[in-house]
Every structure is written in C-alpha cells, then in structure tokens.
Amino acid sequence: MKYILPVLLLLISGIGFSQTSHQFQVIKSGVVDFKAINNTWYASVQNMEMPSPEGSSDKAKLLRLKRDLELKYPRKKISKLETKASTPEVFDISGFEGNAYNNRVPNDNAMAISDAGILMSCTNNRVVIYDTEADTLMDTGFLQDFVMQFNVTASRYDPKMIYDQNEDKFILTFLVGTHHVNSKIAVCFSTSNNPIDDWNVYLLPGDPLLTDHWTDYPAIALSEDEFFVTGNLLADNQSWQTGFNQSIIWQIDKHSGYGGNVSLTSQLWTDIYDDSIKVRNIHPVRGARKLYGPNQYFLSNKNFSAESDTVYLLEITNKISSSGQLNQTLLSTPDHYFLSPSGRQSIAKLLATNDSRMLGAIRDDSWIQYVHNSMDTTTGNAAVYHGTIDNFESTPLVSGVILSDSIKDYGYPNIASTGIDPDEKECVIGFNYTSPLDSAGVGCYYMDTNEVYSDFNLIKLGEAPINTFVDSLDRWGDYFAIQRQYSSPCNVWTAGMYGKTGENGTWIGRVAVEEACRIPTPIEDSLNPAFNNGAIFPNPLVDWVTFDFELDESLFIKVELFDTKGGLIKVLYEDVALQGENRLTFNGFYLNQGMYILRILNNDKVLFTEKLVKQ
C-alpha cells in the first residue's frame, strides 16, 4: 500500500503543550460489495491469556494499583442508597439478541443506526445488519469481508461504527494486525444509506511515522466535513502499557471517502505533550444533537493513575485545508476520579475494568459531557464517572458525578443525548454491570432535562457468569456502543455485553425516554417577525421555518415538501387559507441536512415554489 508524506509542520500551542502535524494522501484500496461476499473460512485467532497481578509487566502493575486502592477503600455493605424525590423514569426498554458468539472476547461492541432504522452491529470480527422498523435481519458477515480482497490476512479487531446524519451514510473503522509490519486502520465509507450496498475502503498506515510501532485502541467522531480517528502507537510484542509510544489523531476529509476518491486527504497529529508527559488515550467528542464544525474537540485524562483530577481538553481549530492548529487546555475536576476495581460475579472469577480512560463524550453549543470508569470510595464498588465541562469554548468549568450502586459494579460506560432543544443536558448513560448476586448484564441511567438522574434501569439481565479464561480475571468490555436515533431523538440504541451459559452475548437495546418525542421549542425571535410576503426564513433553517404569502382570495391549498429528486417528504397542510396575509410555520428539526422544495398548490395550480436548505 502506498502512503505519501509530503509535509511536516511543527506547531506549538500554549506553555508546556506541543504537537506535530503531517499531511497524508492515503490511496484508495478499492470498493467492497458487502452483499456479494461469500467467505467460507472466516479464520481468526484469539489470545486467551490475562495477566497475573504478581507479574512484572505494566498490566500487573495496574492490577496491583487497583489492589492497593481496594485496601484503602474496601467494599462496604450498604443496605440502601438514598432515593431522590421525583426520580425520572424511562418510558420503555426493549431489545433483541445481537451478534452471535464466535469465540472472541471481549465483544468490543460497536453499533450505529440510521434515521430509517437500519442498524449495523459489530463485535470482534462479526457484522450484523438489521432493519429495526421491519424487524428483519438484512445480512451478516465478518470484518475481513471488507479487506480480504486486498490481500489483508492479519487479525481484524476493535471495530467502531458511526452514522452520519448529515449524509445519511455509515462509516466503519477497525484495526488490522498487531505488528508494525502489518498494522493498518481500515476506514470504510458506505456509498448509500443501505449498508449492504458498496463500501469505499481505505487502509491508513498503522505505523505512519515509520518508527516500528502499530496502532491500537481506535475512537472515532464526525464533524460537518471531516472524520476523526484517534489511536495509540505501541511497540511490537509489548503490552499496551509498557509498549506505549504516543497517542495520535487522524483528521480526514469525509466527503472524499463517501465519493470514493482515488485518495483520502488527511492530516495526522502526533507528539502531543503536556511538558514531558505524553497525553494518552485521546477520545474525540461527538455532536450530541447534530454535527459541528469546523472545530473538533477531544478529551483525555490521567487514566493510568490510581487517582487524579486532571482533564485535558484538546481542540483542532479548523479543517485540513484551512491550516488549523491543535490547542490544549489543562483542567481540574473538583473531586478525584479513581482506578476502578474489578467487577465481582457470583463465582470467584472477576471481570476486568482496565483503566479510567475516557470512553464516551458528546457536545452541544456550550457544554461537553463525558463518561469513564471510576470507583465509588463510599462503597468501594466499580462506578461510572459522569463529567461535564461547561463553557468549554471560553472559560471551561468542570464538574462530575459518581454513578454507582450499593451492590453492583459498573464498567465501560458510554453516553448519548436525548435532548431536543439546544444545550439540554438530557442523556442516557449505558454500561455493563455485574455483582455477586447478578450475572453480568446491561443497564443504564437516564438524566432528565432538570439534570436529575433516574434509578438504575435494567436493559438486559445476564443469564450466567462470564467464564472464558483460566485465570482469575476475565475480559468484560472493552467497549459499550450507544447512539441517539436522530430521526427519533427520544430513542437511544445500545449494544452491551452480557453473560450466557458457555459464551458471551451481545444485547441490542432500545431505551425510549418518552412515548413520543417532544417538539423543539420555537426560537422566540422567529415567532412574530414582521410580515414579509414571499419570504421564507430562516434559510438555511435550524428547526422552525416560516413562509409568508399573500392570497387575493380565500383558497383551498395544499402545502408539500419535496427533496431535490422530486420525492414527496410530507404534506404539511391541506385546508383553506384565507384572503390576505398568511403565514405558514412548520418544524424542520428532524430533516436531514440538504436542500428541499416547498410548494403550495390550489388544486393542480402551483401558487408558490421556494427552495429551502437544512444546515
């Protein structure tokens, strides 16, 4: 595979902070027709070893740090935690069995769902596509289906999925290989809103700096025009702790990927330091209700420390073509977060919670919310840290809440917004859970518009303990997938890992926080503007649309909204409009980004035709 590295640019931003950027052109590998693939073998290799806390590796050191914390904050028996008054409740929870077990652990669940309800679920090497509206399995396959025709035979793992609500398309990312010679990042762009159609496939270099390192732990996000992938560069044949070299950020023009261009225009950010400290396990922030741009934000913390209060806020300030820079801001939480203890089961086997790295982050106009593993020091149990950064673009202020249970241990949280109006912090936080009384299952908390948390909500009850490895510690995560369905934003879809007899299961869950989604609140300034005959405003629209028109006589009218291909989206109105000044208003909040045609008719006579753009 050919990679071009024409530019090296050093950027310095802030006292003690530094980074380097590189311009890349990544040549397209080819096009994959997912529905036409028929692979008989689907071979894979799974390493079945977990570390002993008595060893000399950094994995063992991490376990010893956790053991020391458990001695300092021992488990405490608490009969009942305080229940809040007016605790919010979710409306409905449902779900179904996801990807079948294929002897790979952990599941590394990834998932995305389109506005039309097409859901794509990935685990370590399996791919399943569902039509949730028709309750139909559309297709199944494996990650190697996307790369095998390009002579890629190394292991495929760590899938990540995202749905682009602006383009109505999917992006699938996964890792290939665990050695610098064969390491790559597969980035696959769907060519339509149906994931069984063609995909454009590009293979980013896993050793982009040619320093004999490979890429691990991907995380992804979208802006209006770009796609971002973060990862860690590791040394060959070493653990992810001892072999850590640095964390990197790929910045990619997503439109060239959707269009199947011969090469991807991209930029790589490296050497991201806080003084002499490498900022590690960088996680991109996703749009809570919509996509933003051109600036993109990222988070990190001191995720390998026993306890800390440090949060790193990173910002790429512009698109690749506009010579942006990477700014860093060092923040401190009011209280410490901690390494999480291992999860307990009804058997002696414990479940690994790893470190306290950022696992999910979303943003709105004025805030960022994020989640990661931590400990509740009052109970000694594994918990979820839910953090908020208010005013992140001007004067950032961090706050945090520990979500925990008196008996259950929580692990691998992720977060999705259910807010309707700008800056509503309403969200669902999903995670895996386990306890000495419960087999490992899937649960969530709902935080309402008043920022009050629900009680624990069960998404899927575990059926049996997780018991794959021969050691005392088993794999449990490492990722939990969650996404708001943008066409129905009071519905959040999740994909978590749960215990089954003899295997590990994936459960696809739907959490509905309302029976019917609330209508966005109209912007006050647009409610009573002066009448302006023939004007449609605002245009481009954000949510509410107003169109003023004047009739010489009272007429029976029909108001229709079309896409640019002539497809009817909605009949908005069908009744009499009176002589004189008339004002049409409608809510365009749930429209996808693009151009639309508004048409008003009297019988078959077209009275008005206006173009309308949704940002």
The answer on pLDDT for 525 being more than 70 is no
Nearest residue to 218 via CA among 186, 255, 266 = 186
37 vs 507, residue with greater confidence: 507
Least confident of 116-130, 138-152, 383-397, 581-595: 581-595
pLDDT at site 259? 96
Encoded tokens for 112: 């995305």
CB contact at 8 A, 471 and 52: yes
d(CA 301, CA 311): 5
Pick the most confident of 394-408, 535-549, 575-589: 394-408
Strand partners, 476: none
pLDDT tier for residue 590 given thresholds of 50, 70 and 90: confident
398 vs 15, residue with greater confidence: 398
Which residues touch 361 (CB under 8 Å, ≥6 apart)? 283, 284, 285, 286, 297, 299, 368, 369, 370, 371, 415
d(CA 413, CA 425): 17
Computed over every residue of the chain, the mean pLDDT equals 88
The answer on pLDDT for 14 being more than 50 is no
d(CA 504, CA 142): 17
pLDDT at site 531? 83
The answer on pLDDT for 7 being more than 50 is no
Mean pLDDT in residue range 313-323: 91
The answer on pLDDT for 145 being more than 80 is yes
Q: Decide the pairing of beta strands 296-301 and 307-316.
A: antiparallel
d(CA 387, CA 331): 12
Nearest residue to 98 via CA among 460, 412, 478, 474 = 460
Taking CA atoms, 594 is separated from 168, 290, 590, in Å, by 10, 14, 12
Encoded tokens for 216: 């691990």
553 vs 57, residue with greater confidence: 553
Nearest 5 degrees, angle CA 530-CA 536-CA 539?
115
Ranges of beta strands (E only) in 165-243 are 169-176, 184-190, 198-205, 213-222, 226-235
pLDDT digits (tens, 9 = 90+) for 479-502: 999 999 999 999 999 999 999 988
Strand partners, 274: 17, 277
Half-sphere exposure of 210 (CA within 13 A, CB side): 4
pLDDT at site 58? 62
- DSSP SS3 for 69: helix
CB contact at 8 A, 248 and 211: no
Instruction: Please state the separation of Cα 271 from the chain's center in Å.
Output: 25
Least confident of 158-172, 189-203, 248-262, 511-525: 511-525
Mean pLDDT in residue range 299-313: 96
pLDDT at site 4? 35
CB contact at 8 A, 125 and 144: yes
d(CA 238, CA 412): 24
57 vs 441, residue with greater confidence: 441
The answer on pLDDT for 453 being more than 60 is yes
SS3 breakdown of the chain: % helix, strand, coil, rounded to 5? 5, 50, 45
164 vs 62, residue with greater confidence: 164
Q: Within a 10 A sphere around the Cβ of 252, how many other Cβ atoms?
A: 25
pLDDT at site 56? 47
pLDDT tier for residue 85 given thresholds of 50, 70 and 90: low
d(CA 163, CA 290): 11
pLDDT digits (tens, 9 = 90+) for 29-70: 999 988 777 654 444 454 444 444 444 456 677 888 888 888
d(CA 272, CA 265): 21
d(CA 544, CA 379): 48
Mean pLDDT in residue range 359-371: 98
pLDDT digits (tens, 9 = 90+) for 457-482: 999 999 999 998 877 899 998 899 99
Encoded tokens for 448: 């309402």
> Is the previous residue joined to 74 through a cis bond, with omega within 30 degrees of 0?
no
Mean pLDDT in residue range 137-153: 91
Mean pLDDT in residue range 537-541: 85
53 vs 322, residue with greater confidence: 322
The answer on pLDDT for 223 being more than 60 is yes
d(CA 443, CA 504): 16
pLDDT digits (tens, 9 = 90+) for 279-302: 999 999 999 999 999 999 999 999
